[in-house]
Structure 1
Amino acid sequence: MKRGSFSQGVFTLGIAGLFLAGFFLLVTFGAATYRETVEGQGENNRTRALVSYLSTCLKANDRAGALSWEACTEQDGLNGALLTIADGDSGYALRIYQWEGQLLEDYGPADGPLQPEDAQVLGETALFEIQERDGLAYVVTDGGEAPLRLRSGLVLRCGNES
């Protein structure tokens, strides 16, 4: 009898160990999947927030002569667009540009030098362009693009167009 109860005890412990191992594997895989899901959702939210912020900022300053942009080259120290939003007739402007993988917002004299070391970081993006298609401007970043339907009826024109 003793031999039968010993083998039953070992069998019971083996089954309990198997369930415990299965439980730990389930928790480990579940936690990894949850972490990946949350990271993906966070990245999606960051990229959407960046495009939404740009769209909202431009629409809030939509008045005649306030918005302009120019395409920059690496010679200028920038690679992409330099978006300028004039602050009325003060001579100052909000300038948005991509610098070293980050989208920056800089406030200063409209014709003054850019100061990326003092600018506020809006988000991470390797791409910042403004494209014009069919008379409509689009702000383009890594996270996507947003059409700019300006209420003033003006088309956002590139400052270095002839």
Structure 2
Amino acid sequence: MSQETTTQLETDAIQWAGKGSISAQGATFEVGHIGSEGATETSRANADVKKAFSISVDWPVGRPDKWVDTTDDVKNTTGIQRYMLYDQSKVLVPPARPSPWQYILCFTTTRTFDYHFSDGGGDTAEDCYECNVFVTAWDHCVQYNSTHPNITRITGTP
């Protein structure tokens, strides 16, 4: 069962690193993390025992102060412990809003994977936003624009 906890996300603390990323459907997106610059890469010694996965989820756009605990199935399959997905255009408006991206997904994981988050897709093919996690000490974030922003599937490869 999912639970929500209230915590204000400090968007100024996000270090955006993936400028210029493009999904398979041609949508641009950006990835980043919240964490110490002193963190080191997590060991990949057990990468051969990790298995690729694909799991359906129902992550609707929520509030900017609500971390949502994932289900046990999502935790066990993906390592993702919690997420926050919201429409940041309703929080900050230009010129205070420095980002051209409408939606932001942040998540906390205990595993290193190359994650792909698929949005609702609507009548067209779904977009998939990649975030390659190699440090689990950080919260990871993806910014994107979409007409169907809910996250409906997560895939991962070791």
TM-score normalised to structure 1 length: 0.25
Structure with greater helix share of residues: 1
Give the greater-gyration-radius structure (CA).
Answer: 1
The answer to which structure, 1 or 2, has the higher relative contact order (CA under 8 A, 6+ apart) is 2
Structure with greater strand share of residues: 2
